[in-house]
């Protein structure tokens, strides 16, 4: 069987704080005499991330280098360096349409598996912000616009079919997609060793494993993920892949990018906002403040979907090149498909973030374990409901009614 070659190129070496400084000096981004400060700030799963600062000139930059293995499970899970290409290519492609919503890529080096990009350390990871109860008034509009523009402009509705197929080929991403295929769509729905949940919720988990209707519906969603090359997706658009300030939104970490069903990016974002909503019960103790913040999160869901819909529709009407974009009803039925897919994918994400390999801090940092387990069971229920009822949940109001308590 042909698998991607896992040997790094012969010139590859993981950089350290000394060699990375030598490397960036050659790029002429900093002046020659600059006194550079450097720190490795990666969370260390898959990449080295160097933050390089020239304090005297108030300039800084990020160097992100792919490691040839996934640290999360030790060196035994080898990965190619190709993901640096996927990540930098996606950021460059997205910058054509939403330059304000992604960090600018300055340089890409294939043999070292690294790229150089804007420093966003003035921003906070959105997940940390939502755990702290911070509101981001532009977030929903930005993410809705982001998904609408990147997906529309890389879809058959806009691109010439030759150009679309060329891009599909360029973004065929077997390795990273395999991680999603396994960790989002498969392992959590079977008694698999990668799963991770407390014994206390095992009964609820087993109930999920024994739900044959659920598995059958997840099979359909997995098959859509595997086969439906609708548009260029970020592929991992959770709240840990978004950098924010109250004024600015930057989407990062698109190493999972590939051509897939548009609802997938939206569904992952929705799911992580919903996980934040659920966990607020533990994070914000004042009932009044909690209600306020949860109401902000619900508004974020509503506005993300409505911004997406509005922007996508505007692009479809004004810039659709595919002749069928002019046929009445086609936009509405396509948006209908995206919505149903998004609800289903959101369900999968809620479940895998609760019992799969990669959890969310929103739930896992809850100190009161009884409460944590109750909320995790609630998440499993919600995810299951979304997946099984996705064709009946016809709009965002209905989706929100499933968990919203006024």
Q: Which residues bind a second copy (CB under 8 A)?
A: 1-4, 156, 160-166, 168-169, 172-175, 177-178, 181, 186, 190, 212-213, 215-216, 218-220, 222-223, 226-230, 323-324, 327-330, 333-334
Going from the C-alpha of 231 to that of each of 19, 168, 171, 261, the distances in angstroms are 38, 8, 10, 7
Find, among 392, 344, 353, 384, the residue nearest to 224 by Cα. Answer: 344
The neighbour count for residue 362, using CB atoms within 10 Å, is 25
Which tokens sit at 49? 């991330």
Q: Smaller CB distance to a second copy: residue 57 or 216? A: 216
Closest approach of a second copy to the CB of residue 159, in Å: 8
Cα–Cα distance list, 313 to 151, 266, 326 (Å) = 12, 16, 12
CB-wise, 4 or 44, nearer to a second copy?
4
Nearest distance in Å: CB 323, a second copy: 6
**Cα–Cα distance for residue pair 299/291, rounded to 1 Å:** 12
Residue 254 labelled as part of a binding site: yes
195 belongs to an annotated ligand binding site? no
**What is the spatial distance between Cα 169 and Cα 22, in angstroms, rounded to a whole number?**
35
CB-wise, 58 or 327, nearer to a second copy?
327
47 is in an annotated binding site: yes
Nearer to a second copy, 3 or 28 (CB): 3
CB of 211 to a second copy, least distance (A): 11
Neighbours of 332 (CB within 10 A): 9
Q: From the CB of 311, what's the least distance to a second copy, in Å?
A: 20
3 versus 11: smaller Cβ distance to a second copy? 3
Q: Smallest distance, Å, CB 219 to a second copy?
A: 4
First to last CA, the chain: 55
- Cα–Cα distance measured from residue 29 to residue 222, given in angstroms and rounded to the nearest whole number: 44
Rg over alpha carbons for the chain, rounded to the nearest Å, is 21
- Cα–Cα separations (whole angstroms), residue 262 to 162, 228, 232: 20, 9, 8
What count of Cα atoms within 13 Å lies in the side-chain half-sphere of residue 120? 25
Distance CA 361, CA 126 (A): 12
The answer to whether the annotation marks 26 as part of a ligand binding site is no
Helices 263-283 + 287-319 axis angle, to 10: 170
Q: Which is nearer to a second copy, 1 or 285 (CB)?
A: 1
For 107-142, the three-class secondary structure string (H helix, E strand, C coil) is EEECCCCEEEEECCCCCEEHHHHHHCCCCCCCHHHH
Q: Which is nearer to a second copy, 109 or 187 (CB)?
A: 187
Least distance from a second copy to the Cβ atom of residue 226, Å:
5
What are the distances in angstroms from CA 91 to CA 62, 228, 290? 14, 22, 35
Q: Which is nearer to a second copy, 58 or 323 (CB)?
A: 323
Minimum distance between the CB of residue 258 and a second copy, rounded to whole angstroms?
9
Of 192 and 309, which has the nearer Cβ to a second copy? Answer: 192
Q: Is 118 annotated as a binding residue?
A: no
E strand or H helix at 64? strand 59-66
d(CA 91, CA 166): 17
> What are residue 40's DSSP bridge partners?
50
- Find the shortest distance in angstroms from Cβ 170 to a second copy: 10
Smallest separation (angstroms) from a second copy to the CB of 128: 33
- Residues making up the binding site for ATP: 47, 64, 253-255
- Residues making up the binding site: 47, 64, 236, 253-255, 352
């Amino acid at each position: 069987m042909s698998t991607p070659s896992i040997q790094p190129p012969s010139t590859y070496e993981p950089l350290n704080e000394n060699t990375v400084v030598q490397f960036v000096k050659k790029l002429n981004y900093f002046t020659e005499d600059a006194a550079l400060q450097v720190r490795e700030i990666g969370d260390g799963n898959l990449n080295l991330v160097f933050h390089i600062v020239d304090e005297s000139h108030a300039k800084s930059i990020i160097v992100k280098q792919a490691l040839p293995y996934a640290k999360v499970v030790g060196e035994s899970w080898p990965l190619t360096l190709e993901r640096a290409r996927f990540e930098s290519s996606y950021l460059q492609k997205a910058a054509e349409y939403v330059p304000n919503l992604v960090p600018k890529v300055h340089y890409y080096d294939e043999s070292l598996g690294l790229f150089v990009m804007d420093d966003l350390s003035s921003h906070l990871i959105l997940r940390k912000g939502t755990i702290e109860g911070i509101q981001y008034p532009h977030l929903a509009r930005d993410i809705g616009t982001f998904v609408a523009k990147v997906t529309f402009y890389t879809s058959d509705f806009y691109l010439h079919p030759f150009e679309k197929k060329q891009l599909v080929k360029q973004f065929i991403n077997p390795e990273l997609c395999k991680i999603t295929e396994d960790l989002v769509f498969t392992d959590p729905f079977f008694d698999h060793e990668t799963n991770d949940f407390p014994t206390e919720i095992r009964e609820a988990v087993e109930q999920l494993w024994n739900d044959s209707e659920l598995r059958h519906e997840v099979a359909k969603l997995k098959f859509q993920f595997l086969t439906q090359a609708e548009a260029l997706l970020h592929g991992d658009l959770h709240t840990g892949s978004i950098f924010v300030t109250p004024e600015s939104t930057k989407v990062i970490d698109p190493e999972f990018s590939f051509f897939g069903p548009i609802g997938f990016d939206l569904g992952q974002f929705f799911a992580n906002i919903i996980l934040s909503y659920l966990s607020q019960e533990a994070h914000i103790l004042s009932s009044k403040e909690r209600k306020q913040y949860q109401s902000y999160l619900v508004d974020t869901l509503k506005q993300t979907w409505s911004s997406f819909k509005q922007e996508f529709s505007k692009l479809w009407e004004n810039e659709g090149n595919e002749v069928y974009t002019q046929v009445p009803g086609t936009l509405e039925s396509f948006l209908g498909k995206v919505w149903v897919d998004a609800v289903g994918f959101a369900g999968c994400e809620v479940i895998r973030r609760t019992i799969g390999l990669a959890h969310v801090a929103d739930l896992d940092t809850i100190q009161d374990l009884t409460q944590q387990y109750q909320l995790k069971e609630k998440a499993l229920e919600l995810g299951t409901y979304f997946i099984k009822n996705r064709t009946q949940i016809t709009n965002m109001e209905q989706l929100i009614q499933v968990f919203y308590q006024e």
